[in-house]
Amino acid sequence: MKQDMIVILDLGSTENTAVARQIRELGVYSEIHPHDITPQALKELENVKGIVLNGGENRVVDGAAVDIDPALYDCGYPMIAIDHPTARCEKRLETLPDKETLREFVFDTCHAQANWNMKNFIEDQVELIRRQVGDRKVLLALSGGVDSSVVAAMLIKAIGKQLVCVHVNHGLMRKHESESVIEVFKNQLHANLIYVDATERFLGKLAGVADPEQKRKIIGGEFIRVFEEEARKLEGIDFLGQGTIYPDIIESGTKTARMVKSHHNVGGLPEDLKFELVEPLKQLFKDEVRACGVELGLPASMVYRQPFPGPGLGVRCLGAITRDRLEAVRESDAILRDEFEKAGLDKKVWQYFTVVPDFKSVGVKNNARCFDYMVIIRAINTVDAMSATVERVDWDVLERITNRILAEVGNVCRVCYDMSPKPPATIEFE
């Protein structure tokens, strides 16, 4: 079922995503497009019912105020302007519209139907994927993260064995994560999955490297090389599947919005890329990606997986990575996640993890002096990851976690709780 759409034209607003989400919460699909979209490009979008002209603080570019193509006014679409001084629009507002005003515009003026839901979205995407791919093959790097897992499930539903998934275990995964990927995708969803255990290769390259940025570059670069090596072994691959989501595209900047950060899957691909991209999630926000995963039948443990940095535990084993400290991070992290789940904190706390610094402290074990590592626990809450507050974990829960880590992780003699908000601290230590 084709979903009705409200188009948001970005005339320099910093609130494009807020308006898009307000409209989607009404059950109507919305997309953000640049202010200079042509009438032809607008007509090529399917089921457009109305246009929001969204002006704001970034409207003046190079000394001139940006505006839409005047021909758009004659295309016959109902329009509403937010902080935009054009008199030809049907309504004029100076701030974000309240829900009732937006509801009236979407339903009474545009006559849009509230048919935006995950079931319809999946049906539409499956049809689009089949039309794009035909009988050819798609290659996907399956990390086990939320985005790549949902893309994989979507592509399996659409094209089955025409999808080739490559899961690279760089030895920096959390406990049992690679096993979980194999269980869900190979054993349950019967995916065409290639598993590469590159643990020794990665740890060899990282030996003695203490600088965080250098570690990240080695891990990222080596991952691409391993993936390319596996791709060269395959034949008949014309498409590359990617877990690009809407915030990736928005944060990478528009003509009237400043770039927040560049993303590896938006503009960061080599120019000589031999593959055509398949990006079925590129119009979804993160919570919508999770809802899509649930609708596709992925397990909750995968859909609601903790945010996890690309370099994995490599940036939580502080300084030069050693196998004993890497194992201490992995085991303590598993204990923390287990106890948070038992206490109901896994649904409440945005992100929680452990790190192990690259120094030892004195302690006592088995009535004898020891010199072992410490584990630091971090548990924070945030809305946008730009700032974060520390979770006030119940003392009894912290005590249970501490006792388990000290008893079960062999080379640790201290457990600490990080009380630092962001700013001044960042979420990750490296």
CA 117, 20, 347, 182 dihedral sign is positive
Residue pair 169/330 in contact by the 8 Å Cβ criterion = no
| Tokens found for residue 95 | 């701030």
Cα atoms in the 13 Å half-sphere on the side-chain side of 301: 10
Q: pTM for the full model?
A: 0.78
218-241 core/surface letters (b: 16 or more CB in 10 A; e: else): bbeebbeebbeebbeeeeebebbb
Residue 220: phi and psi, rounded to 5, are -65, -45
For the CA atoms of 152, 158, 163, 168, the dihedral, rounded to the nearest 10 degrees, stands at 0
Q: What string of pLDDT tens digits covers the 430 residues of the chain?
A: 678 999 999 887 778 888 898 999 999 999 999 888 999 999 999 899 999 998 765 555 555 566 788 889 988 999 998 765 544 444 444 456 678 989 999 999 999 999 999 999 999 999 999 999 999 999 999 988 899 999 999 999 999 999 999 999 999 999 999 999 999 999 999 999 999 999 999 999 999 999 999 999 999 889 888 988 888 898 888 899 998 888 777 755 444 444 333 334 433 444 555 778 999 999 898 889 999 999 999 998 889 888 788 899 999 999 999 999 999 999 999 999 999 999 999 989 999 999 999 999 999 998 999 999 999 999 999 877 778 999 999 999 999 999 999 999 999 999 999 999 999 999 999 9
